[in-house]
Amino acid sequence: MSLTQSKSQFFYQLATMYEAGLPLLSALTSLQEQRFPWRLKRVIRRVRERVRAGDRLAEALRDEKKLFSDFEVELISVGEESGHLDISLLSVAEWLEMMFKVKREVLGGLLYPAFLLHAAVAASRIVPFVLGHLSGQAYLMRSLGTLFWFYVVFFGLFFVLPRIRRRLSATAFLVDSLLLMIPVLRTVMVKLALARFAQAFKCVIVAGVPVVHGLDRASWACGNQVIGARLRKAIPRLKKGMGIADSLARTRVFPVMGIEFIRTGEESGNMDKMLGKISQIFASDAQFAIEQGARWLPRIMYLGAAVYVAHIIIQLYSGVYAGYEDLLKDLPI
């Protein structure tokens, strides 16, 4: 079981116990005995001790930045303040479950391109190895040397960069700005940020938090510094009496469809339901964009691998042809 899926199960069980009337401390005590990954169990133990000492659950989770995001902590904080902690915990659990499915889709789409890449690199030097021009050790070292930079890029994008962004808040805005410049990533990141924002905004409205304060908190929970800053530009307009839909429309972040949903929610008084639908729609759109990328990525990698192999073959035959010409020059006329 992955860490994301384990966190989803943890929040779901905690929500179920709390809704059944079990005190939070007792629920955490019971959960620390469950079969979770050791990393999560150690954090649960620390969180339990903090709650036992009198701290709120959100405060204890906020200090565990390596494991819990601002979005998760913000939703739980709103739930504690409003007395709807079970609803917030369940919302976090459902969100994490959806993110687990998205990550699984992405990793599944990367397996075939990764296989093609390794096969292309291995095939590019197989002829010199078979002919005896390369020893087994040289063949292995040259192949690994070519793959090394691909490993560096992959590790940096998926492991190092997210950790740096999470630990150093000063660099988060810069990292988010750079990632939003990449066309393929931009669509996914904007959709996910708006889905988080809508989910968080729904929770604060259900909790009875004033709209201005609630929008501010939801913008910080969206998980993207750039999108959050643009969403907060709606706050001055809200303070002047402008509606939520019109204020958000001026930020030029929400698409027309999202604005119309919010406008309908304002007019009908069902803002929480409309925001819930928006969150589901944007999350589905982001998942669809990721699935499309996962389908096209193998084709792009296959084309790149084919070009790479063709380049190596041309180089090989160029060397053979050059050697043949040198041999002809040495023959007596």
pLDDT tens-place string over residues 256-303: 888 999 999 988 888 888 888 888 888 788 777 766 766 666 666 667
* Residue percentage of the chain with pLDDT more than 90: 20
Q: Looking at the predicted structure, is the pLDDT value of residue 253 above 70?
A: yes
User: For the segment 184-207, what is each residue's pLDDT rounded down to a tens digit?
Assistant: 678 888 888 888 888 888 888 877
234 touches 248 (CB < 8 A): yes
More confident position, 276 or 316: 276
Whole-number Å distance between alpha carbons of 308 and 327: 29
More confident position, 243 or 126: 243
More confident position, 247 or 154: 247
Q: Looking at the predicted structure, is the pLDDT value of residue 127 above 70?
A: no
Mean pLDDT in residue range 228-247: 92
Which amino acid would we find at residue 85? Answer: L
* Residue percentage of the chain with pLDDT more than 70: 80
Three-class SS of residue 305? Answer: helix
For position 327, what pLDDT does the model report?
A: 54
Whole-number Å distance between alpha carbons of 278 and 259: 9
194 touches 251 (CB < 8 A): no
What are the structural domain ranges in the chain? 3-68, 95-333
Tokens of residue 152, six digits: 């560096």
For position 324, what pLDDT does the model report?
A: 56
Q: Looking at the predicted structure, is the pLDDT value of residue 239 above 80?
A: yes
Whole-number Å distance between alpha carbons of 233 and 10: 35
Which amino acid would we find at residue 189? Answer: M
Tokens of residue 328, six digits: 């002809």
| Confidence band, pLDDT 50/70/90 cuts, at residue 55 | very high
Q: Which of 275, 225, 233 is nearest to 250 (CA)?
A: 233
For position 297, what pLDDT does the model report?
A: 61
Three-class SS of residue 237? Answer: helix
Residues 6+ apart with CB under 8 A from 7: 40, 67, 68, 96
Q: How far is CA 287 from CA 82, 279, 300, 304, in A?
A: 31, 12, 20, 25
Average pLDDT of the chain is: 81
Neighbouring C-alpha atoms within 13 Å toward the C-beta of 230: 19
For position 159, what pLDDT does the model report?
A: 73
Mean pLDDT in residue range 88-98: 84
Backbone angles phi, psi at 8, to 5 degrees: -60, -45
More confident position, 310 or 280: 280
Neighbouring C-alpha atoms within 13 Å toward the C-beta of 153: 6
Q: Which of 25, 2, 4, 24 is nearest to 15 (CA)?
A: 24
